[in-house]
A and B are shown apart, each in its own frame.
Chain A
Amino acid sequence: MSFDNLDTLYRQVIMDHYKKPRNKGMLEDGSMTIDMNNPTCGDRIRLTMKIEDGIVRDVKFDGDGCSISMSSASMMTQAIKGKDVDTALAMSETFSLMIQGKEYDDEMDLGDIEALQGVSKFPARIKCATLAWKAMEKGLKE
């Protein structure tokens, strides 16, 4: 078996977030809670966010899922913490384009998240990667 192709999916940084998730857990009261799951595979996420003055002051996630969904959640929380709501939503849009293999604005610094670019080559796994982002979008748009 050639693992070359797999290596574009399971990048070191993804595995690092999977094994050592950042911002794992739940925020205490005063924050919003969004539950979301992927009904086709059973992955689920609970996202808690604290928004003050249009800024994502704090964010944590809890959930259960594969390496792609959980690492994506970890990276997402890291990326949006401290950002204003509009920037977080813009990042989500850029992420969505990137993960589908479409052209995206590479001026925007996505940091570790760019490691997930390889997911676009595995159409069956795109929904894994977008779960946490959809939860975040839902929360911020409410």
Chain B
Amino acid sequence: MNPYEIRKLFPILDQEVNGQPLVYLDSAATSQKPAVVIEAMEQYYRGYNSNVHRGVHTLGTKATDAYEGAREKVRKFINASSTEEIIFTRGTTTSLNTVARSYGGAHVKEGDEIVISYMEHHSNIIPWQQLAKEKGAVLKYIPLQEDGTISLDDVRATITDATKIVSIMQVSNVLGVINPVKEIAKIAHEHDAVMVVDGAQSSPHLKVDVRDLDCDFFAFSGHKMVGPTGIGVLYGKKNLLEKMEPIEFGGEMIDFVGLQESTWKELPWKFEGGTPIIAGAIGLGAAIDFLEEIGLDHIERHEHKLASYAIEKMSAVEGLTIYGPKDGEKRAGVVTFNINDVHPHDVATVLDADGIAVRAGHHCAQPLMKWLDVSSTARASFYLYNTEEDIDKLVSGLVKTKEYFSNVF
């Protein structure tokens, strides 16, 4: 795969920022969108905008076909057994909240345990925190190894027969580490707990197979995988989803409505109250087509290569600390770092003057920041449209940042 050819398919990348060609290194926050995704949504709005599952008219049928067609694309993309297991949501956060409130609300009792890890994103911490508080359950954290990875021994030591839910991110948005969620799911199941996987950072970058992982729930967002914002997915095993109650009630999700009682539609629609995110789902479908045409295996290899290259070049900058494993093969395209004596916000501002977009802050992972013993960090994240040249520009920007800050004092 040639990232220079791929770049041309993303209109936004062809621009100058602060007089310099844009170097976009913030894809872990949100990825850019190729023209085909933007056009798919535009075609819907210009050509066949209509509500789904209602109309007898032609546009309504076209819209329904496109919306349900996108669901089938998602099913294939993560290798689920049936489209009944694919629920469209607003994003990973909504997906995880749905599991916590619906499954967790019904199954977690006082004294039960919920197990997560120290590296989780806030969206995979707070829904469980709230559930634990409400039920009088215990929220437990799997500790991290020195290099920021999770050891299965620690997983075994943390999960017990009192554990009802285990929820772990597949790829860390800070450390870039790829967690052994398949093995963790196995351990969770030995204790009759369900396994939830936060796939926000994995679905864009590596081939996900929910049946191979044998996870019970899998959550991800469209906007991190070249799709639009506002659309995400909750995958759940059919036997679990069937027994779960919806958390949102209203139009679209009902079967019969009486004055005092109502019944719900079958799966997956009982979880999709209200007019769904039609354009978003169509955009996500186009994004999946786009990624699959390039091949997730090629994207994954490209990112390992960029991560390895970035770690090598950045390690040569004096006073720069990289967090997480130093082996690029062990991580997705995320490199989080700090420079001695320069605060990450200042790093990000100076790089921005050079047209380079990086993230600075706590990356929605305050417990992890505490574990790393830092208040904030800078993060460069790469995707299929990034090149080694982008990383060279980042490194020279970092050297200049250091020089600038030693000169202004």
Pull 7 A–B residue pairs with CB atoms less than 8 Å apart, ordered by A. A1-B353, A3-B353, A40-B361, A41-B361, A42-B369, A67-B343, A68-B345
Contact call A122/B349, Cβ cutoff below 8 A: yes
Q: Is B321 at the interface (CB under 8 A from chain A)?
A: no
B binding-site residues for A, Cβ under 8 Å: 18-20, 343-346, 349-350, 353-354, 360-362, 366, 369, 375-376, 397, 400, 404, 408-409
Contact call A41/B376, Cβ cutoff below 8 A: yes
Closest-by-CB residue of B relative to A125 is B349
Q: Is A56 at the interface (CB under 8 A from chain B)?
A: no
Closest-by-CB residue of A relative to B342 is A67
Contact call B343/A6, Cβ cutoff below 8 A: no
Residues of A within 8 A of B376 (CB): 41-43
Contact call B353/A42, Cβ cutoff below 8 A: no
Most chain A CB atoms below 10 A, which of B18, B346, B354, B400:
B346
Residues of A within 8 A of B361 (CB): 40-42
Closest-by-CB residue of A relative to B362 is A42
Residues of A within 8 A of B408 (CB): 7, 10, 12, 15
Residues of A within 8 A of B366 (CB): 42
New contact pairs (5) apart from A5-B18, A66-B345, A124-B349, CB-CB < 8 Å: A1-B20, A12-B408, A41-B361, A65-B375, A67-B343
A binding-site residues for B, Cβ under 8 Å: 1-3, 5-7, 9-10, 12, 15, 19, 40-44, 64-68, 122, 124-125, 128
A65 nearest CB across to chain B (Å): 7
Given contacts A10-B408, A40-B361, A41-B376, contact A1 B354 (CB under 8 A): yes
Residues of A within 8 A of B362 (CB): 41-42
A46 nearest CB across to chain B (Å): 13
A70 nearest CB across to chain B (Å): 8
Please, how many angstroms separate the alpha-carbon atoms of A42 and B366 in the complex? 8
Contact of B409 among A2, A6, A15 (CB under 8 A): A15
Contact of A6 among B344, B349, B360 (CB under 8 A): B349
Contact call B375/A44, Cβ cutoff below 8 A: yes
